[in-house]
Structure 1
Amino acid sequence: MTTVDLLQEFEQNYSVNTADITAKIGQLQQLLPSERTAAINEIRKLLSEVEDLLEQMELSVRELEVGSSDRNRYENSVRSFRTDRKNLENEFKKAVQRLQRASDRDDLFDDGVDQEEQLIANTERLERTSRKIQDAYRVTVETEEVGNSVLENLTQQRETLHRARDRLREGDAELSSSNRLLSVMIQRVIQNRLILLVVAVVMMFFLLVFMYRAL
């Protein structure tokens, strides 16, 4: 294979690689974040291969006769290829920077969303805590009201018991008085009966005496 044939093959490889690089750079924006790292590494690898091709082309061009049309032509081609490669490398760097800025914006947006979600969660937690405090306060008030009602009922029951006890005491006093009165009345009845009995005995005695004298 002649030097010119080799240079032509290098040119073909260069065209294929640079076309592949251009296509891959254009696809970076559409790739998923998980796929971008592999694509970026692949582009770097292709740029390195293009650099190797250009170095081989430069070595091969030096083998051509100085001043020949082939040498002049391929020297110009190598210079043009180097400029193209430099432009591709710059375009690649810009694409990576754009992706990085977009990723930073996404991260910032995600942080903002996270902060907003955290704020919403904190607000909801605060509202739940406030409701629990209100419920606890309401239960406390209701408990206090029930306690007051129970205390009032107990007070009323105590007063009722006191009144009942007083009535019982009054009843006991009245019963004692009645018992005493009944005892007095019984005693008087007994006394009256005894008096009647004595009177009857005396009358019988006098009657017997009178009858005896009459005989």
Structure 2
Amino acid sequence: MDNSPTALFDSYEQDFKQIISSIRDKLDGEAKGESAEQRKAALRRVEMELDEADEMISQMEIEIQGIPQSLKASFQSRLKSSKNDLTRYKKLSKDVHSQIARTDLLSRASPSGGATFSSDEPYGPNGDRQRLLAGTTILEDGSRRLLDSQRIALETEEQGADILRSLRGQREQIENARDTLQRADTSIDRATGTLKKMIRRMYQQRVVTAAIIFVLVVLICVILWFKLVR
């Protein structure tokens, strides 16, 4: 098992490339098929795979934080390239969605009785044209909401990455504080040992001083006895 700091990034990048390849195949193949249901099913699968690709990008952003600084520049370039690929295929998927929606609207707006319309009213009666314009407006609103959702998701990912960086900094501060406490504990142990030695010496000096005083008292008593008795 590869335990290098770039192993997980490489793994997520490989998964991302496989997903992008699958998306490209679907957009170039099934999404351009003759059957409307086949195109819609292909686009639903593309949307799910785009979500998976987004998740891979998020994981790559997290893993790049742990890569050594000397290697980070090249991996940041690879991450940026992957983000550009994802953005391009999201736009392509949205364009295909719009084309299919317009085709559906035009097919529903076309006359069922085979009548033809002049070039002045290419969409048929005014009612059908109004419905087509309303449908186009709804589609554009949905596209704008989708873009807003994608922007919010990207901002959330950036905030998550900032939180991870903040947590990493706090962990380093805690580790430094723990090391400082360990050094202080060692210093306190040494100081405690020194104090105990000083206390023992103090008691020894007291005993010696008491012994000297006792001997002096005895000598004085002996001297006084000799003086008084003789």
Structure 2-normalised TM-score? 0.46
- Answer 1 or 2: which has greater helix percent: 1
Which of the pair has more CA radius of gyration? 1
